[in-house]
Amino acid sequence: MNDKDQRPSVAVAHVVLETDRMEESAEFMRTIGMRPIFLGPEVSILELRGGTHLILMHKRKIAAGDSPFDLMVDDIHEARDRFEALGLSPSAIEARPAVNHELFTVREPAGHVITVFSSHVSGKPV
Q: Does 42 score more than 90 pLDDT?
A: yes
Contact between 59 and 19 under an 8 Å Cβ cutoff? The reply is yes
- Residue-wise pLDDT tens digits, 5-32: 888 889 899 999 999 999 999 999 999 9
- Residue-wise pLDDT tens digits, 49-68: 989 999 999 999 999 999 99
Residue in 59, 60, 50 with CA at minimum distance from that of residue 12: 50
> How many CA atoms are closer than 13 Å to the CA of 38, on its beta-carbon side?
11
From edge to edge, which strands make up the β-sheet containing 35-39?
14-19, 53-58, 43-47, 35-39
Q: Give the confidence band of 1 by pLDDT, cuts at 50, 70, 90.
A: low
Q: What is the pLDDT of residue 117?
A: 96
Architecture of domain 14-118: Roll (3.10)
The residues, any chain, with a CB within 8 Å of residue 38's CB and separated by 6 or more, are: 44, 45
State the average pLDDT for the chain: 94
103 exposure class (CB count in 10 Å sphere: 0-12, 13-18, 19+): buried
Share of the chain above pLDDT 70, in %: 98
Q: What is the pLDDT of residue 2?
A: 66
